[in-house]
Structure 1
Amino acid sequence: MIFWNPLESILVMYAHIVLTVKNKKYFENRELLFQMSLINSRLHFENLRLIINADISFVIYPRFLCQFLCHGKLFRNVPMTEYYKKISRSINMIFPIKAMIFDADGVLLDSLSVWKELGKRYITDLGYQPVAGMDEILFSMSMEQGAAWLKSRFTLEYSEEKIVMDLKARIRKYYFEEVPAKSGARELLQCLAEQKIPAAVATSSPREHICRALERNGLLSFFDKIYTTSEIGESKHSPKVYFTAAVALGSEPSRTLVVEDSLYALQTAGKAGFLTAGIYDALGEPDQEQLKKDAYIYCRDLTELQNHIFTENGGNQR
């Protein structure tokens, strides 16, 4: 039996857990602090105290600050992400993932460089000298906006339509022939396949590009479904692409882990009730601190994510 008493709370190794929480709406909004792994678990509120009756097998999701005594170690008022990491190394927790949804660019594929350097490469090949900061200027623009900017800035004789066609051809060639997989992608997907955990891709890029790049890197066969925002009809500012993928995989949001490298997409999935993992990419999200804060799990790469799911948490049990 392990006791902890920072907030009138006692943890018993079998049958009864009591937590005092600041805001009951955390649970009502599906941002679960606890997700029980056992069917026979029972959960209810008494005022602002969460009462859980179940075996000790559970997952703690880091959405609060508390003190926790585990195996003789006291963790006092630790930041949420650090709290999760420390506890996950101290107790054999279960991470109940039923399915996973992956972004492609910056998560599965090391492809962001082509978007970052597209305009510079194009101008250089035409014999012009790139201007300072043009990568950043073009990166936030649509293809059509970028073509207009290039034509105006370098006084190109081509039409904007011709520039767009040239840029799209370069991107297509890169995905078809060059883009590599991210480190650890194959190993993680192999683990999921061995555990019979289905996976899907949710991407903002064209299907043809992503499928060809995944196939060339030997990853396409690991995915049950691939969805694009253009086919769904809504960007990742809407959770529709994630809900569509989860339904196809036969999983509910609370048991589905969405892996993203961009903050806005991760926030969209999180607000919709999905578990979220933030992945670092050197050319990706500039606000890594916020990505780390908003993600249930934050990892430097897919190898670290694999360790979180299958090693540090004692193996994924569905």
Structure 2
Amino acid sequence: MIQGVIFDMDGLMFDTERIWTTLWAPALEKLGLPAPCEAFVSGARGLAGENMLRHLRQYYPQCDPNVLLAAVRAEGKTALANGAPAKPGLFALLDYLEEKKIPRIVASSSSHETIQRYLRISGADRYFTDTVCGDDAKASKPDPEIFLVAARHLGLPPEHCLVLEDSFNGVRAGHASGAVTVMVPDLQQPTEEILSLCDACCKDLNEVLDHLRHGGEEPFPRKAAL
């Protein structure tokens, strides 16, 4: 039975991934580096921590990956200064969870400052009592630690939590944590591997809400072997 919901943020709650995709080129140009190829841009989606640094080293070994990461984050701070559009169904889902008194938490690889800014600007901050960021976990997704930390913050065992994710590594992390894991695709459609790891794939958060409203005590039957 789902007793708490753990939300990813970028690409799941807010339409930020499309914006981040456009920011690599200007960041690289300012550093005097070649324009990014599609494999670099698509491969960077859903990465954080050491996984992101490894990705940057692979494609741009001539540049300190921390310098490159700082450059793209600076672009993002400007481009997303006023937040980003909410994904379809976000507030309807949050209203339902609040009505049913189901606790919610954000677990995102973004910084606490970024999470709080997006929540505050969008007005979603009132729905969440807590957030967990990448700095709160030693390992980044696909490691499950961030979701295990989030479940502890909710005071629930992970198997009683619903993880909502849009990225491949997020789904891998949710599955590894033991939580009910639902993918809501953003820029990437699920592969066979990802479909085998998530308990459901919904086109948007409105469909997630429909499952919760009409799916009884088990709106997302477990299909993935832990």
Q: Do the structures match in fold with TM over 0.5?
A: yes
Q: Deviations over 1:85-138 (max 9, x none)?
A: xxxxxxxxxxx21001011111111111132221224467x6x9x85x624324
Give the conservation status (yes or no) of the 8 Å contact 1:110–1:181. Answer: yes
Give the conservation status (yes or no) of the 8 Å contact 1:98–1:197. Answer: yes
Residue in 1 aligned with 2:6? 101
Residue in 2 aligned with 1:296? 199
Larger deviation, residues 272-281 vs 262-271: 262-271
Q: Cα distance 1:315–1:177, how it changes in 2: closer, same or farther (>3 A)?
A: same
RMSD across aligned positions (CA): 3.2
Residue in 1 aligned with 2:115? 210
Identity across the alignment (%): 27
Residue in 2 aligned with 1:313? 215
Aligned-partner Cα distance in 2 for 1:229–1:178? 19
Aligned-partner Cα distance in 2 for 1:162–1:118? 15
Deviation, 1:236, is 2.0
**TM-score, length-normalised on structure 2?**
0.78
Aligned-partner Cα distance in 1 for 2:55–2:170? 22
Partner SS for 2:182? strand
**TM-score, length-normalised on structure 1?**
0.57
Aligned-partner Cα distance in 2 for 1:294–1:162? 34
Deviation, 1:203, is 0.9
| Number of corresponding residues | 210
Q: Does 1:117 align with 2:19?
A: no
| Counterpart amino acid of residue 301 in structure 1 | D
Q: Does 1:196 align with 2:101?
A: yes
Q: Cα distance 1:217–1:315, how it changes in 2: closer, same or farther (>3 A)?
A: farther
Aligned-partner Cα distance in 1 for 2:143–2:41? 24
Aligned-partner Cα distance in 2 for 1:270–1:231? 19
| Counterpart amino acid of residue 313 in structure 1 | G
Residue in 2 aligned with 1:229? 134
Quick check: which one's strand share is greater?
1
Residue in 2 aligned with 1:276? 181
Give the conservation status (yes or no) of the 8 Å contact 2:141–2:172. Answer: no
Runs of 5+ consecutive residues of structure 1 not aligned to the other structure: 1-95, 154-158
Q: Cα distance 1:296–1:212, how it changes in 2: closer, same or farther (>3 A)?
A: same
Residue in 2 aligned with 1:251? 156
Partner SS for 2:150? helix
Give the conservation status (yes or no) of the 8 Å contact 1:276–1:296. Answer: yes
Q: Cα distance 1:186–1:169, how it changes in 2: closer, same or farther (>3 A)?
A: same
Quick check: which one's helix share is greater?
2
Deviation, 1:266, is 1.7
Partner SS for 1:140? helix
Give the conservation status (yes or no) of the 8 Å contact 2:7–2:105. Answer: yes
Aligned-partner Cα distance in 2 for 1:217–1:316? 30
Partner SS for 1:176? coil
The counterpart of 1:185, out of the listed 90, 110, 125, is 90
| Counterpart amino acid of residue 160 in structure 2 | R
